Amino acid sequence: MKTLFITLPSMLLTSVTLASTPTAEIIVKGIVSVPSCTVAAEDGQRFDLGQISLSTLQADVVTKALTINCSAETYMLFSAVDNRAGTATASSNTSFGFGTHNEEKIGTYQVKIDNAMVDGVDKKLAFDTDSSGSFTPSQEQWLDTRPNAFIGWSDTSNTLSVGKTFTADLSVHPSFARLEAAAENIDLNGSFTMNFRFGI
Q: What is the chain's pLDDT, residue by residue, as a tens digit (200 residues)? A: 444 444 445 545 455 566 677 888 887 876 666 778 999 888 778 888 888 887 777 889 999 999 999 999 999 999 999 999 999 999 999 999 999 888 889 899 999 999 999 999 999 999 988 766 677 789 999 999 998 899 999 987 678 999 999 999 999 999 988 766 566 778 888 999 999 988 75
Neighbours of 21 (CB within 10 A): 5
Please state, in angstroms and rounded to a whole number, the distance separating the CA atoms of residues 179 and 155: 44
Dihedral, CA of residue 115, residue 119, residue 123 and residue 129, to nearest 10? -90
What per-residue confidence (pLDDT) applies to 131?
A: 64
Please state, in angstroms and rounded to a whole number, the distance separating the CA atoms of residues 111 and 17: 79
Please state, in angstroms and rounded to a whole number, the distance separating the CA atoms of residues 167 and 67: 5
What per-residue confidence (pLDDT) applies to 41?
A: 84
- Contact between 171 and 63 under an 8 Å Cβ cutoff? The reply is yes
Cα–Cα distances in angstroms (integers) from residue 193 to residues 47, 58, 80, 85, 95, in the given order = 13, 25, 6, 11, 14
Range list of β-strands (E), the chain = 37-41, 62-82, 96-97, 100-101, 104-105, 107-118, 121-122, 124-128, 136-138, 140-142, 150-156, 159-160, 163-176, 192-199
